Structure 1
């Protein structure tokens, strides 16, 4: 049985037991992987399913009534393209990428691309100040930053050997233009399978009572661990799921990225 089939079997078992907590506790068995990549081994496989291929994986609605949609197939292809482009720019497996974006398509594209690339993702809220960023760049060992044109000035006083990747506008010399990713080939693969225990995410905690701490997650602790979240919130294939968590916080990954897509549901965002 492939890792995709094993993951699907575990997911489907929880769907079967979604209204019977006692049986779910007694009968559910966590899949244990030595290798797993959520982008390649799950998302891309779902995107090839005729039932999902042209269905929306992501809908972002705006206050003015407009909306942006991406299908499973579109995000599958685009994330592979961005992974290829990032690799062509020098991003290597294990490199740390800070992703400081709002609720915009590029957030989901770059997250999926980073997973496929084997990079370590460090999601950051756009509320961060230059002082916050200096701390995160240093302690997070950040080598690449993906952010919007409006956030670029914050980095003028932030030292480090990182490279900025700008979304929107005309980047200054030395800053990479994310839009150039549209010209990359939509073909990318790793030289060896992603180990289940490889680091995938590093989140800085809120730092409410003391200095923010780094919390590490692997390629299975979130993608596999949030089978439990799918069970608790009752998501099923074909559902549309709205969650109001803001980008940069761990809850955003739980309920606006991994959990809906584990369930083969649509992520719905309302930018209010």
Structure 2
């Protein structure tokens, strides 16, 4: 492939490679289990096809499909009677709960717009999102309503539906309304504003439709052979206000006619009990979650054989062959893999490493191996800020085009123009597509480090350092350097039983990676984290600069 190829020629070649690379039995075309219908219509469909199948559960609260269909229709009627209509925004300011899922379905049935709000928000953060989205209703709890009250000097009064209140604006009242008879939603209207979390800048509302939601599920299910015979069961403790949690805890199970088991938060013992009790087939968590399961729970005493596709997210601790091997020994027949490559703007599931775990091919490839795009999605590597593809194997910016790419940012046309070009979302991520068509993620472009003109990718250094037996977690950031232009700085959290020093890690790095990649090292007790489990690398930047200044003193 030559550098002068246009994007169409490039895509023809890349699609051919990726089609050949897909695991056996995975088609190139998306399969829609119940047809191209709205998300609430899926619940109604399964209520007819399998009314007594468990659809949603959290603790002792359980809904069959018949009950879930009726419950969300009742709440939709109440919302409609209190002024919610097509295009109106409804803020759902809740933690993981069955009420969240029911309210989500009710909003979509009315053709209104779902605005998930982080329940950890404090007044300034909450006020920003409410002022930006202008909801006509907030669904929340009495405790969180106190945070809402603290915004009253900045935010106009908004009606509140309390899930734990009483009276006219209570969940009991909403649940007592007559079932809503119609479905006023459609696949292509605005259905959700999913705000980007990010570590810098103010959040932006990604505009998503129900078609985006449906395609995300159908393409991911097709790419990973998820069943839609009612046997799919997901365990979700990821926050469902977060778009990845929305996919796992609401959209995937309801579109597939399976079961969603929600947990309010991560708890290892509860997770084991839920997997065994409900025959969970899919769980997504951090690498740390799986390590805790293996280190604190006697898994040999439990039947976890249903968990056929456990997925890990390498936010801090990295997936390694050792972690996979330990999991396989703990849960025979279960293969632990990385989850997927994606972002809020694309509804998160764009490229999956499913089917490439044999001989740890996925984990031993150049970090971070993402596999092939889900059917219907195109991924290209281009020169920064252009649509000009780079040759296979070369590093550039990852751009994505699919039926789930955002329509743009809510009330932010400048950001929309910058990142959305001819249907392609410019991710700001570094990556490359290799000679077999596999995508490799190399970190955020703004994090790329130039050492004497050589490109150093934080993800690469992080994955290399993660191989050291004393390293528990690591985050790498750039800092300016008077001699080399920039240099990488690694903040390392050692394993609990280790007293490894920064000097020892630098010595190990010199013996195990190219000279220009060798980082300065700082050993910490913990890393600063966002609410969604990502490292706040911007907070490490000042410490990195101080560390480098000390090295030159």
8 Å contact kept, 1:83–1:114: yes
Q: Which of 34, 51, 55 matches 2:53? A: 55
For 1:150, the equivalent position in structure 2 comes to 143
CA separation of 1:48 and 1:142: change in aligned 2, threshold 3 A: same
Deviations 1:59-101, CA, capped at 9 Å, x for gaps: 213xxxxx22110100001111111111011111111001011
Give the aligned partner of residue 164 of structure 1: 160
Aligned length: 236
Which residue does the alignment assign to 1:239?
232
1:135 aligns to what?
Answer: 128
- Give how far 1:161 is off: 4.2
Aligned to 1:94: 87
1:58 is paired with a residue whose SS is strand
- Asked whether 1:46 is paired with 2:46, we answer yes
1:265 Cα deviation from its structure 2 partner = 1.3
| Separation of aligned partners in 2, 1:195 and 1:225 | 16
| SS in structure 1 of the partner of residue 192 of structure 2 | strand
8 A contact 2:107–2:113 mirrored in 1 = yes
- Of structures 1 and 2, the larger Rg is shown by 2
Contact 2:31–2:218, Cα closer than 8 Å, also in 1: no
Does 2:112 match 1:114?
no
Q: Secondary structure of 1:69's match?
A: strand
Q: Which moved more, 1:228-237 or 1:136-145?
A: 228-237
SS in 1 for 2:114: strand
Partner-residue secondary structure (3-state), 1:216: strand
| Partner residue, 1:201 | 192
**1:224 pairs with 2:215:** yes
Q: CA deviation at 1:212?
A: 1.0
Cα displacement (A) at 1:180: 0.5
- 1-side partners of 2:137 and 2:246: how far apart? 20
In structure 2, relative to structure 1, the CA distance for the partners of 1:234 and 1:101 (3 Å cut) is: farther
Q: TM-score, normalised by structure 1?
A: 0.80
Q: Which of 77, 96, 99 is the aligned partner of 1:84? A: 77
Say if 1:21 and 1:194 are closer, same or farther in 2 by CA, change over 3 A.
farther
Which residue matches 1:37? 38
- 1:58 & 1:23 partners in 2: Cα distance? 30
Q: 1:226 Cα deviation (Å)?
A: 1.8
Q: Does the CA contact (< 8 Å) of 1:125 and 1:247 recur in 2?
A: no
Question: Closer, same or farther in 2 for the Cα pair 1:94/1:152, shift >3 Å?
Answer: same
Gaps of 5+ in 2: 1-21, 268-553
Q: Aligned-residue CA RMSD in angstroms?
A: 2.1
Deviation at 1:144, TM superposition (A): 1.0
Structure 2 partner of 1:64:
none
Contact conserved, 1:99 with 1:121, CA < 8 A, in 2? yes
The whole-number CA distance in structure 2 between the counterparts of 1:212 and 1:113 is 25
Q: In structure 2, how many angstroms separate the alpha carbons of the residues matched to 1:111 and 1:233?
A: 26
Give the 3-state SS of the residue equivalent to 1:176 in structure 2.
coil
SS of alignment partner, residue 249 of structure 2: helix
Distance in 2 separating the partners of 1:126 and 1:137: 13
- The two structures have a TM-score, normalised by structure 2, of 0.41
1:115 deviates by: 1.0
Conservation of the 8 A alpha-carbon contact between 2:112 and 2:185: no
Q: Report the alpha carbon displacement of residue 113 of structure 1 after superposing the two structures with TM.
A: 0.7
**2 CA distance for matches of 1:139 and 1:187?**
29
